[in-house]
Structure 1
Amino acid sequence: MKTPLKILMMLHMPWNRNLGGSRVQIELADELIKMGHQVEKFAFEDAFPHFKGTAWETITRPAFATKANKFVQNYGHHFDIIDAHQGNLTLPKEKLKFKGLWVSRSVGLHELYYQFERSTVRHFSPSRLKVRLWNQLLRWRNYREVINCRKSFQYCDLINLPNATELDYLQDFAEKTVVFPFGLSQQRREALKAAIQPVSLRLSHPKVAFIGTWGYRKGSHDWGKIIREIRAEIPSVQFVFLGTGLSEEKVLQDLEMSPVSWLNVIPQYDSELLPKLLSDCTVGAFPSYLEGFGFAVLEKLAAGLPTVAYNVAGPKDILASLEKTSLVPVGDWQQFSQKIISIVQGDRGNYQELQEQGLELMEQFAWEKIAQDMLYLYQCRLEAMG
């Protein structure tokens, strides 16, 4: 092995494995450390150690980039590589006083998310003035982050993207953009696979699983129609929504439903419990309108769940080889529902084939291989810089 590298992971989110945005760098850090490299982090809690989460603090606190720029100016010389989220660093390298490799990372291109949020405002504007004003303030902060992201892309040495759609979108920076998918660790893959229950049991007690925060971007406004369509043909089907971030009461309110025994909403869960939570499910559902990649799709496949998703960046990168059985046009909730129905009502052999295809596909998304390929590229770029 070459001389061990000193790598700084930088992100404007809490260093928490249960958060999808943070999880990417946390799990990459795990793999890099196994390879013998030294990894440190500068995350939200390091920049704002006394932050209590009040609305006033959320609006008035400085931009994370202000703290991050200062940190690198003071301590960046200790590191060979800085792997920072998009928009975290916003100054030219000479002002940062950093001579190593600066990678700007997307786990979902902020500019695309901002455009999506703006487009949904016209359709789903809250009725309460206070909520509308709060959302306007948040949009102002988000627009500031769009500007910061553009600065980081301009000044960094390399841009690391999770899907091909973002690569096409950032054509202005094509000479320094690369695509690396996300993955699951060997331990995670094995834990999910070990919890798989027999096919006969899964098909005899059908259950549809969704993993994701509850909101329009993740398909919340389609779920009521999807549920009614599926239950009209399979009255015994159950649903479980994992990691919604909202209470069952609020989810049911959006669905215009009363509490029922066949729908279970779990707002938060510890990541280690996911294999057990998915073990008795039959099919995965992911009607998301916009993704960076989609850990939820990977985890369902690793849990042996044939999974149906909207054909958007991220899920389509994962499920390209299973397009006929797994992908539908974005927003086509009827076709989405029918694909789930066909999987649940299909014969055991067909289900087992879909399950095996998903498990085989997972071998392409092993963190240990992705981290190795990524680091090789980082080292080549670093050496080329002299």
Structure 2
Amino acid sequence: MRILMLSHSPNDPDGGASRIYHVLSEGLAARGHEVDVRHQEDYGLPTGRLPRLVVERVGLPQWISRAALSSTSPGDHDVVMASGGTMYPLFRRLRASGGPRPLLVSHAHGMSVYDRIVNLGESRLGHFPASPAYRAVSAPFSDWWEYRGVAAADVSVVQNLRDLDQLRTRGTIVHIPPAVHPELLVGSETITPLDQRVPGQVLWFGTWESRKGAWYVPRALRLLRQAFPAARLVIGGTGKSHEELAAHFDPADRDALTVLPRVTRAEQMRLMNESQVFLFPSLSEGFGLALPEAMAFGLAAVTSPVGFAADHLTDGLNARVVPATGEHVGAALVQLVTDDDLRQRIAARGRETARSFTPERMVDGYDRLFTEYAGRPVHVP
């Protein structure tokens, strides 16, 4: 089967949507499919700052659809899959062409409408600003593209049950969770024993923004260190310096904070092998791969009920699943850091859950989907 996968994200094997396309394309190719993957760099976006910004915020689907049409011969494939509705003009053109055409698959990494609700809510609370440009252009346009992508596709793939419920009346929707990265899955086969890790070391991988629940982290750390003064927080992948983030924390906690703007995969595995608890206080997630990947290394998780956690974790069994507030997260951190038996029990059960999200499981889902639907019409209400 010939499969064309079109991602609007930068080409990054370690980054979000792009990571899924890398792992999926390798898995499908290993099963004998012919897979062509394109990323943002392949569409010839403008290089000037202002023209590029206008295209990305207002005209991205039109621009990259034209680029994909001229450079990839999408009509010669059995399946064309694209993310976030950003290829809906291409899908519409292929549908209107008449005669045989590829199966058109819209891939939702996480519906942007929920990110929009969170960002505007956090702004209203005074936690993070939401610019006029975001309110008037960026958020509405991304929502618009997403729904049009679902309408133009034959079938849409979602990664969580919230999105499945929201979109189920709009077309044929299939739920396929993503996978723990294969290198991390292999690396987590043998881990540092849970009782030999740095006492009270909490790890968090995430950008410092409203959607990730960043505003609630300083309060949670303050509560933890009041109960366990030796506790430390390591934040990786923020893209910011220690000085930029330390100002948000209580002066008493700033020396207990380590900020790593960039984290290699090797360093990621090292940190996960030495830490006890993983913090994941996100307010909106399509899935949140950082969470199961950390849990695969035996970290006991404190998470909010979004994405992976909402669908696959149970509070007190394989994670602490609590509302994303400083008070709730802080109390859960105190419990897991100070109760060794509970922490190790939750960590062991969580690791079993997380390690079941294998690349083979994910590739099986897409392979079945493509095989079932390619070559036959699919009714979209």
The normalised TM-score by structure 1 is 0.88
Q: Which amino acid aligns with 2:109?
A: V
Letter in 1 for 2:230: S
List aligned pairs for 1:323-338, cutoff 5 A: 323-324=316-317, 326-338=319-331
**What is the letter of the counterpart of residue 249 of structure 1?**
E
Aligned counterparts of 2:41 and 2:152: Cα–Cα separation in 1: 25
Matched with 1:361 is 353
Question: What amino acid sits opposite 1:385 in the alignment?
Answer: P
Name the counterpart of 2:139: 142
Q: 2:6, 2:37 within 8 Å by CA — same for their partners in 1? A: yes
Deviation at 1:220, TM superposition (A): 1.2
C-alpha contact (below 8 Å) 1:159/1:177 kept by paired residues: yes
- Distance in 1 of aligned mates of 2:181 and 2:87: 28
Contact 1:59–1:137 (Cα < 8 Å) also in 2: no
3-state SS, counterpart of residue 278 of structure 2:
strand
CA shift in 2, pair 1:345/1:176, >3 Å: same
Shifted more, 94-103 versus 376-385: the winner is 94-103
Select which of 7, 10, 18 maps to 1:22: 18
Q: How many residues align?
A: 370
**Gap regions ≥5 residues in structure 1:** none
Match 2:161 to one of 151, 164, 171: 164
| Aligned pairs for 1:192-203 within 5 A | 192-194=188-190, 196-202=191-197
Q: CA deviation at 1:205?
A: 2.4
Q: Which residue of 2 aligns with 1:375?
A: 367
1:276 partnered with 2:274: no
- Quick one: distance in 1 between partners of 2:207 and 2:327? 22
In 1, Cα distance between the equivalents of 2:247 and 2:240? 11
Where 2:88 maps in the other structure, the secondary structure is coil
Q: Which amino acid aligns with 1:143?
A: P
Q: How much does 1:382 deviate?
A: 1.0
Displacement of 1:287: 0.7
Secondary structure of the residue that 2:247 maps to in structure 1? helix
Contact 1:47/1:64, CA 8 A, preserved across alignment: no
Q: Which stretch shows the higher mean deviation, 153-162 or 83-92?
A: 83-92
CA contact (8 A) 2:25 2:37 kept: no
Q: Is the 8 A contact 1:220 1:254 kept in 2?
A: no
The 5 A counterparts of 1:1-386 are: 5-48=1-44, 51=47, 54=49, 57-59=52-54, 63-74=59-70, 75-91=73-89, 92=92, 93-95=94-96, 99-124=101-126, 135-139=131-135, 140-173=137-170, 175-194=171-190, 196-202=191-197, 205-257=199-251, 260-320=254-314, 322-324=315-317, 326-347=319-340, 349-385=341-377
| 323 and 182 in structure 1: CA distance in 2 versus 1, 3 angstrom threshold | farther
Q: Tell me whether 261-270 or 137-146 shows the greater mean CA deviation.
A: 137-146
Contact 1:252 1:258 in 2 (8 A): no
Distance 2:293 2:361 in 1: 17
Structure 1 SS opposite 2:86? coil
The 1:220–1:332 alpha-carbon spacing in structure 2 relative to 1, beyond 3 Å, is closer
Specify the SS of the correspondent of 1:254: coil
Could you report, residue by residue, the CA deviation over 1:103-152 in whole angstroms, capped at 9, with x for unpaired residues? 1011111222223223333233878xxxx7xx322440331222121111
Structure 1 runs of 4+ aligned residues shifted over 6 Å read none
Q: Is the 8 A contact 2:278 2:302 kept in 1?
A: yes
Deviation per residue, 1:278-309 (Å, 9 max, x gap): 21101111111111001111111111101010
The alpha-carbon deviation at position 253 of structure 1 amounts to 2.0
How big is the shift at 1:260?
A: 3.8
What is the DSSP-based 3-state SS (H/G/I as helix, E as strand, rest coil) of the residue aligned with 1:279? helix
Distance in 2 separating the partners of 1:224 and 1:342: 17
Identity of aligned residues (%): 22
CA RMSD of aligned residues (A): 2.5
* Alpha-carbon offset, residue 366 of structure 1: 0.6
Q: Within 2, Cα distance between the matches of 1:200 and 1:335?
A: 25
Could you tell me how far 1:176 is from its partner in structure 2?
Answer: 0.2
Does structure 2 conserve the Cα–Cα contact (< 8 Å) formed by 1:47 and 1:68?
A: yes
Contact 2:313 2:321 in 1 (8 A): no
**AA partner of residue 365 (structure 1):** F
C-alpha distance in 2 between matches for 1:166 and 1:37 = 28
Q: Which shows bigger deviation, 112-121 or 225-234?
A: 112-121
Query: What is the Cα deviation at residue 381 of structure 1?
Result: 0.8
Shift of 1:58: 1.5
Compute the displacement of 1:373 (Å): 2.3
Deviation at 1:36, TM superposition (A): 1.8
Unaligned segments of structure 2, at least 5 residues: none
Deviation at 1:226, TM superposition (A): 0.3
The one-letter code of the counterpart of 2:83 is: H
- Residues 243 and 269, structure 1, Cα contact 8 Å, conserved in 2: yes
Residues of 2 paired with 1:247 and 1:38: CA distance?
43
For the residue of structure 2 that corresponds to 1:120, the secondary structure is helix
Q: Is the 8 A contact 1:218 1:288 kept in 2?
A: yes
